[in-house]
Structures are given as C-alpha cells and as structure tokens.
C-alpha cells in the first residue's frame, strides 16, 4: 500500500501519528532549563530513574516521553559528540551540530517512517559557553522540528504546557540568578507544566487556558507530586574545575528553594 499515492490518507496518517505520540507523552514529567549566575540548571521531577544526562563536557540532555526512545537519542548524541571531540577537538563539539546533523534528522526520519514506531519523545539540550552563547538550549520535538532558545527553555507533554511554563520563566535575568532562585523558578514552571499535562482536556483557547491556570496553586501541585517523585537537577557550572562542567545538584542545594516555595505560596 502506497500511502503517498493518496494525499488525503497520507495526511490522515500523519495526523493520527501526531495524536498517538502526543497522547503517549502528554502526562510525562516536564523538563525545565534555566540559566543562573554560574551556568545552566536543568531540572525535573522523576521516580527513581535518571532523566537528565551528561552528553559532553558542556552539553547535557533531558527528555520527556518513552525512556527507551530517549535512551536511543541520548546514545546517538554521545556517540556524535565523542567522535567529533576525538577526531577534531573538544571545542569543535557544538550543540548545533548535534541537533542539526544528528538528533533533528534522526527524529524526523523516525516520524516520517509511518510503518515503524516513531520516537515517543521530546528532548531538551543545553550548552554552556558554546559558540552560540553562554546559555543556549535546543528543544527537539517528536517530529524532528527543533528550536533554539537563550536563557531558559522547557519541554512539557503538550505544546500548551510549554507556553504556560514559559510564562513562569520569561523576564528572568538568567545571568544573575542564584542557583537557589533558578531552582525556585524551575520548580514553579515544572509544576505548571505538569498541571497542564495532566488536564483531562487542555483548552485550545489561550485565554481560557490562562484563566484556568490562574486558579492553580502550583505549591499544591508540587507538594502532591513530591509524595512519589524526587527533584532531579544537574548544572553545567563554569566554576567547576577541569574541562567537564556537568555536575549533579545535591538535594541540600535544592532544599532552600523548596522551602521558600512553600512559604511564599502559603502567604
């Protein structure tokens, strides 16, 4: 059967595919990236399973969706980075290359190949002090479309979640934030994204969504989720000794942000 012989059926197949993928990843745990004074913070909540990964000295990756699909993309990114790093130099490993020539085309090919399962994943990558800037992010959607962001970036389960999470982060002075303040903002954005992802029916009308979001107590959302999830955070920190800037953030470093969060929302 050649689907391309019948344009209508082809379009229908693609639309079905989108619905299917969106349905699969909608309720996942969003990922938030925020710049801070020493570099970049990537934060999410997870259930006993690593979701944020080291790709190269100054590059990190996290995703929302099927863990094995994220794993394939993670491995492809690591292979590409190390191959370039060895054959050229560490400085030649750029996030742009990984996204433009690696992940983007791979995900797009998977999405277009309608007889095989697509990548059920949206990924977020961050790069510290690369050729494109100090705090650069790329988000790659499940269809291979990628977007460059500066200062902060998010991937949630649905596009509307991204928009609402962005509201929590836009306007931040990401070059001056303390790690604790960046973590606070990221947690707030995460909770908002999680709430949108878990709605039974996400309003397509922006105003309606915003109105509903205004009634949400993000502290409540976070408190509920923290009952069976844990905050997972890593930084790419400039002050980190050596070439490798990737570091896991300890629970103690996040604790003040969590405490502050609860206080401000109760007042």
Residues engaged in binding another protein (CB under 8 A): 50, 53-56, 75, 78-79, 82-83, 85-87, 242, 244
**Neighbouring residues of 180: CB distance < 8 A, sequence distance ≥ 6:** 253, 256, 257, 260
Measured from the CB atom, the residue of 214 and 242 that comes closer to another protein is 242
d(CA 39, CA 87): 27
Query: Residue 106 CB, nearest distance to another protein (Å)?
Result: 16
The CB-of-137 to another protein minimum distance in angstroms stands at 19
Q: For the range 9-13, what are the long-range contacts, defined as Cβ-Cβ under 8 Å and sequence gap of 24 or more?
A: 13/114
Closer Cβ to another protein, 170 or 244, answer by number: 244
Give min distance, CB of 97 to another protein, in A.
Answer: 14
Distance between CA 82 and CA 127 in Å, rounded? 15
Residue with smaller CB distance to another protein, 26 or 74? 74
CB nearer to another protein: give 37 or 54.
54
Give min distance, CB of 205 to another protein, in A: 43
Least distance (Å) from another protein to the CB of residue 258?
26
Helix ranges restricted to H, the chain: 7-25, 67-87, 95-97, 104-112, 159-169, 179-197, 206-214, 218-225, 251-266
Query: Of the two residues 58 and 188, which places its CB atom closer to another protein in the complex?
Result: 58
Tally Cβ neighbours within 10 Å of residue 5.
8
Using alpha carbons, list the distances in angstroms from residue 11 to 2, 3, 17, 104, 158.
13, 9, 10, 21, 21
Q: How far apart are CA 179 and CA 34, in angstroms?
A: 9
- Minimum distance of another protein from residue 78's CB (angstroms): 5
Phi-psi category of residue 125: left, alpha or beta, with phi > 0 → left and psi -120 to 50 → alpha: beta
Nearest residue (CB) to another protein, 156 versus 237:
237
């Amino acid at each position: 059967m050649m689907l391309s012989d019948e344009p209508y059926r082809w379009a229908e197949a693609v639309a079905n595919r989108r619905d299917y993928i969106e349905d699969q990843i909608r309720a996942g745990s969003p990922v938030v990236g925020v710049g801070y004074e020493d570099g970049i913070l990537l934060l999410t909540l997870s259930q006993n399973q690593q979701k944020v990964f080291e790709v190269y000295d100054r590059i990190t990756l996290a995703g929302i969706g099927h863990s094995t699909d994220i794993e394939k993309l993670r491995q492809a990114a690591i292979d590409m980075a190390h191959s370039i790093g060895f054959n050229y130099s560490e400085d030649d490993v750029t996030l742009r290359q990984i996204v433009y020539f690696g992940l983007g085309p791979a995900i797009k090919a998977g999405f277009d190949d309608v007889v095989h399962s697509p990548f059920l994943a949206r990924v977020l990558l961050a790069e510290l002090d690369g050729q494109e800037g100090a705090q650069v992010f790329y988000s790659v959607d499940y269809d291979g479309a990628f977007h460059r962001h500066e200062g902060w970036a998010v991937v949630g389960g649905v596009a509307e979640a991204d928009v609402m999470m962005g509201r929590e982060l836009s306007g931040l002075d990401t070059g001056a934030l303390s790690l604790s303040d960046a973590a606070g903002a990221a947690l707030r954005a995460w909770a908002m994204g999680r709430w949108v992802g878990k709605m039974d029916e996400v309003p397509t009308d922006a105003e309606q969504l915003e109105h509903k979001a205004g009634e949400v107590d993000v502290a409540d959302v976070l408190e509920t989720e923290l009952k069976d999830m844990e905050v997972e955070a890593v930084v790419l920190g400039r002050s980190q000794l050596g070439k490798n800037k990737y570091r896991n953030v300890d629970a103690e470093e996040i604790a003040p942000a969590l405490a502050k969060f609860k206080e401000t929302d109760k007042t």
